[in-house]
Chains A and B, each alone.
Chain A
Amino acid sequence: MRPLPIAIALSLALTAAVDAAEPPVDPQIAALAERIRALEANAQALQKQAADALAAAQAAQAELQQMKAAQQDAAVAAVSAVSSAGATGASANAFNPAIAVILNGLYENHSRDPVDYQRAGFPLVGEGRPGERGLQLGESELSFAANIDDKFYGQLTVTMENEDGETHTGIEEAYIETTALPEGFTARGGRFYSNIGYLNSHHTHTDYFSDRPLAYQAFLGNQYADDGVQLRWVAPTETYLEFGSEAFRGSGYPAEGSTHSGVGAKTFFMHAGGDLGIENSWLAGASLLHADTVDGEDGFSGRSNLFLFDFTWKWAPRGAFKDAGIVLRSEYFVDDRDGLVRDAEDPEALAEAWNGRRRGAYVEGLYRFSRTWDAGYRYDKLWAASSGPYASDFDPRRHSAMLTWHNSEFSLMRLQLAHDEPQPHFIDNVLTLQYQVSLGAHGAHKF
């Protein structure tokens, strides 16, 4: 409050002084003159500022020219500085493994209740059965991968799945693999998907359809993973040739019981592939899964040989599959058994001897008509045994068609329609809507 009276007093005194010294002037003009003087001072200050700014700009420009000249050297200089540049920014988490998450959700509409679903000649095993009705969370996947040291690579894939209202966490894959064996050899140990066939070693999120072919469902319980070791070798040839063998514990369908002191299943596989011109490429394979089974999920005990033959052909204009292309794929399964089958419903009943063969196959085609749209069709068929405990006159078959929209390589939405005839006079029409996305590390997919 004090400054105000002082200011008033001062201004009064000043006015009085001016009045006394100069001839009386209109106070309005005096105020105007005062303002002009202030503006002039202001303008001078601005002018000086502008000059300063100009000088600064010129200096910056000169510096920029200098930097540009130095830049040519800088590009070259990076060669010697590369090791130090790589080290900067290295913090404690720089060695974290690559983390990738797959999220997956579905809506399924079945015309028949999945509870009533039976497949003629092929008992339902593992996850090889139709999905549930309605909205549901599909399999979510979390994977970690990294080089362990200069000789090993490791990968862990954990899945989370909802079953009957409970969340199950499972280890889908957990393996280590060599990176330094010479001459095209690679060895692997742990839990992993067997390299038999084509689809078996592929994670389901890379499939073109929302479910696996019937042959995979019937003969491998959807997909065969087990604890074991693998050795594979790529031949030094112009045509791709890969040979390999695996020994597994034998704890998953079709090998169950972990016989031979826990080495109950063995596989042999070979794959060959190449290009025809720049637009066509192919991949073919032949594999065998041999198991000694004890009390399998389908009641079987004995020797089981599963032969798989696969063929894939891809065509893309100019070899650029991103924008357009066609994929044709087929796999053919022969399941050869010799042993006893016990009725799962009635364990007390006498086991029935069985020596016979069953077969299965699928053919699928994918047409990519733009970067964002794929359409596909698949035909499945299973040939049941004509005699023995699984004998059936009917051969299950299924038609599936799908349309997929990719927003980017990390997300897709899929519409799939299926006409499934697993037994005579039982037709399940299925509509599936699915989303599937991948987060985190950029995955590199197999052919």
Chain B
Amino acid sequence: MRKLMFWLIVAGVVLSAPAQAKLRVFACEPEWGSLLAELAGEAVSVDVATSALQDVHVVEARPSLIAKMRQADLLVCSGAQLEIGWLPQLLKQAGNPKVSSGPGNFMAASQVTTLEKPASVDRSAGDVHPDGNPHIQLDPYRVLAVAKALSARLVEIDPGNAALYQQRLGDFESRWQSAIKGWEAKAAPLKGKAVVVHHSSWVYLLQWLGMREIGSLEPKPGVPPTSAHLSSLIDVTKSGGAIAIISAAYQDTKPGAWLSERTGVPALVLPFTVGGDDRSKDLFSLYDSTLDDLLGVLK
């Protein structure tokens, strides 16, 4: 039995692959993976921990993620306690001081001002985030602020490629700025329009577009929709003139469909992040797809 243990250990060591020379980045969410592709291209290899079809609030600290974290030179996450249920465990088990703190630990929400920062926190109010709403990826101005900070971080960690990172940031910024102009012109008809949301994950998008949230399918953030709460939304949805009931790709579509059936207001599944629908292949197409879907219900 002891011999077996010995050979298992030997086999494990032999299987160990040589370390990679390229900068390796662990991105918690697809939007940051996509941003890294814009800012660093082939200069880094990116592991994206979650997909648009998973709720990043609740992800399992899987062994494969520990293995990826072990080899990372940089960690890029939303922060603001979005990943609190799994990220600390990955860091604790991976034993990689490069990303557990210091420059290798990059939290996007810390680079911008967050909305909905509660004055006091109590779990009876649902799953509230003491550091504010972490779902910042659908405000293009915040994304740009994160891009600038992330690019500076890449330069700090990998000075050898500084020129490349700076050039790519400049390129991204000019394309992004002109895209924002296009999006804002296109989205003008959405201004002042009301929506019912599934989870409080759309504040940044709605604020940017000047839209209003008049109700939420979740009675409290993170608490699954109940039939009593949904019934109470029927009147609000109708009288508030909601143009759509929006949910993210990973969310249950049943509550939205239920309310849609009773109010005639269309239920709309938005990609929420890169990979959330067939069209959202990167940050640009994520915004294109989101706006087209929203404008689609106005017709």
Task: Point out the residues of chain B lying under 8 angstroms from A446, CB to CB.
Answer: 61, 89, 93
The answer to whether B96 has its CB under 8 Å from any CB of chain A is: yes
Q: Could you say which interface size class chain B belongs to?
A: 35 or more
* Contact between chains at A271 and B97 (CB < 8 Å): no
Instruction: Return the CB mask of A158-198 against B: 1 if under 8 Å, else 0.
Output: 00000000000000000001011110111000000000000
Known: A78-B111, A234-B67, A234-B70. A273 touches B85 (CB 8 A): no
Q: How far is the CA of A164 from the CA of B110 in the complex (A)?
A: 51
The answer to whether A39 has its CB under 8 Å from any CB of chain B is: no
Q: How far is the CA of A184 from the CA of B92 in the complex (A)?
A: 10
**Which of B1, B5, B53, B222 is close to A318, meaning CB atoms less than 8 Å apart?**
B53
Q: How far is the CA of A410 from the CA of B96 in the complex (A)?
A: 29
Can you list 10 contacts pairing A with B, beta carbon distance less than 8 Å? A75-B141, A78-B111, A78-B112, A78-B113, A234-B67, A270-B12, A307-B5, A319-B53, A321-B60, A409-B85
The answer to whether B81 has its CB under 8 Å from any CB of chain A is: yes
The answer to whether A348 has its CB under 8 Å from any CB of chain B is: no
Name 12 extra pairs, CB < 8 A, besides A180-B100, A270-B9, A318-B54: A79-B149, A86-B110, A235-B12, A240-B66, A282-B63, A320-B53, A322-B55, A409-B85, A442-B81, A444-B84, A444-B87, A447-B61
Q: How far is the CB of A233 from chain B (nearest CB, A)?
A: 7
**Which of B2, B13, B85 is close to A235, meaning CB atoms less than 8 Å apart?**
B13
The answer to whether B145 has its CB under 8 Å from any CB of chain A is: yes
Q: How far is the CA of A85 from the CA of B62 in the complex (A)?
A: 34
* Contact between chains at B145 and A76 (CB < 8 Å): yes
* Contact between chains at B66 and A318 (CB < 8 Å): no
**Which of B2, B60, B63 is close to A240, meaning CB atoms less than 8 Å apart?**
B63
The answer to whether A207 has its CB under 8 Å from any CB of chain B is: no
Residues of B with Cβ closer than 8 Å to A? 1-2, 4-5, 8-9, 12-13, 15-17, 19, 51, 53-55, 57-58, 60-64, 66-68, 70-71, 81, 84-89, 92-97, 100-101, 110-113, 123, 127, 139, 141-142, 144-145, 148-149, 222-224, 250, 252
Known: A75-B139, A286-B5. A236 touches B145 (CB 8 A): no
Task: Point out the residues of chain A lying under 8 angstroms from B250, CB to CB.
Answer: 318, 320
**Which of A275, A316, A336 is close to B64, meaning CB atoms less than 8 Å apart?**
A275
Q: How far is the CB of B16 from chain A (nearest CB, A)?
A: 5
Q: How far is the CA of A408 from the CA of B68 in the complex (A)?
A: 29
Q: Could you say which interface size class chain A belongs to?
A: 35 or more
Q: How far is the CB of A158 from chain B (nearest CB, A)?
A: 20
In the complex, the number of residue pairs spanning A and B with C-beta atoms less than 8 Å apart equals: 176
Known: A76-B145, A237-B67, A322-B55. A186 touches B85 (CB 8 A): no
* Contact between chains at B15 and A237 (CB < 8 Å): yes
Q: How far is the CA of A268 from the CA of B2 in the complex (A)?
A: 10
Residues of A with Cβ closer than 8 Å to B? 71-72, 74-76, 78-79, 82, 85-86, 150, 153, 177, 179-182, 184-186, 232-243, 268, 270-275, 278, 281-283, 286, 288, 305, 307, 314, 316, 318-323, 334, 336, 371-372, 408-410, 442-447
Q: How far is the CA of A334 from the CA of B2 in the complex (A)?
A: 12
Q: How far is the CA of A323 from the CA of B251 in the complex (A)?
A: 10
Known: A75-B112, A234-B93, A442-B81. A447 touches B54 (CB 8 A): no
Q: How far is the CA of A318 from the CA of B12 in the complex (A)?
A: 30
**Which of A74, A241, A321 is close to B16, meaning CB atoms less than 8 Å apart?**
A241
**Which of A75, A180, A274, A336 is close to B63, meaning CB atoms less than 8 Å apart?**
A274
Q: How far is the CA of A72 from the CA of B222 in the complex (A)?
A: 29
Known: A319-B53, A444-B86. A179 touches B64 (CB 8 A): no
Task: Point out the residues of chain B lying under 8 angstroms from A323, CB to CB.
Answer: 252
Known: A78-B111, A184-B95. A273 touches B12 (CB 8 A): no
**Which of B19, B70, B86, B123 is close to A410, meaning CB atoms less than 8 Å apart?**
B123
Task: Point out the residues of chain B lying under 8 angstroms from A240, CB to CB.
Answer: 63-64, 66-67
- Which B residue sits closest to A438, measured CB to CB? B123
Q: How far is the CB of B49 from chain A (nearest CB, A)?
A: 10
Task: Point out the residues of chain B lying under 8 angstroms from A180, CB to CB.
Answer: 97, 100
* Contact between chains at B16 and A409 (CB < 8 Å): no
* Contact between chains at B71 and A236 (CB < 8 Å): yes
Q: Which 4 A-B pairs have the closest CB atoms?
A: A273-B63, A240-B63, A444-B89, A240-B67
- Which B residue sits closest to A237, measured CB to CB? B16
**Which of B12, B51, B84, B145 is close to A319, meaning CB atoms less than 8 Å apart?**
B51
Task: Point out the residues of chain A lying under 8 angstroms from B93, CB to CB.
Answer: 234, 242, 446
Interface centre among B87, B149, B222 (most CB of A within 10 A): B149
Interface centre among A177, A239, A271, A410 (most CB of B within 10 A): A239
**Which of B9, B16, B70, B222 is close to A408, meaning CB atoms less than 8 Å apart?**
B222
* Contact between chains at B85 and A185 (CB < 8 Å): no
* Contact between chains at A283 and B63 (CB < 8 Å): yes
Interface centre among B54, B60, B96, B100 (most CB of A within 10 A): B60
Task: Point out the residues of chain B lying under 8 angstroms from A72, CB to CB.
Answer: 141
- Which B residue sits closest to A186, measured CB to CB? B95
Q: How far is the CA of A48 from the CA of B87 in the complex (A)?
A: 60
Q: How far is the CA of A409 from the CA of B123 in the complex (A)?
A: 11
Q: How far is the CB of A299 from chain B (nearest CB, A)?
A: 24
Q: How far is the CA of A85 from the CA of B64 in the complex (A)?
A: 35
* Contact between chains at A78 and B66 (CB < 8 Å): no
Known: A76-B148, A243-B12, A286-B8. A281 touches B63 (CB 8 A): yes
- Which B residue sits closest to A268, measured CB to CB? B5
Task: Point out the residues of chain B lying under 8 angstroms from A409, CB to CB.
Answer: 58, 85
Q: How far is the CA of A282 from the CA of B9 in the complex (A)?
A: 18
* Contact between chains at A288 and B2 (CB < 8 Å): yes
Q: How far is the CA of A320 from the CA of B249 in the complex (A)?
A: 12
Task: Point out the residues of chain B lying under 8 angstroms from A410, CB to CB.
Answer: 123
Q: How far is the CA of A238 from the CA of B222 in the complex (A)?
A: 33
Q: How far is the CB of A9 from chain B (nearest CB, A)?
A: 60
Known: A268-B5, A318-B53. A238 touches B67 (CB 8 A): yes
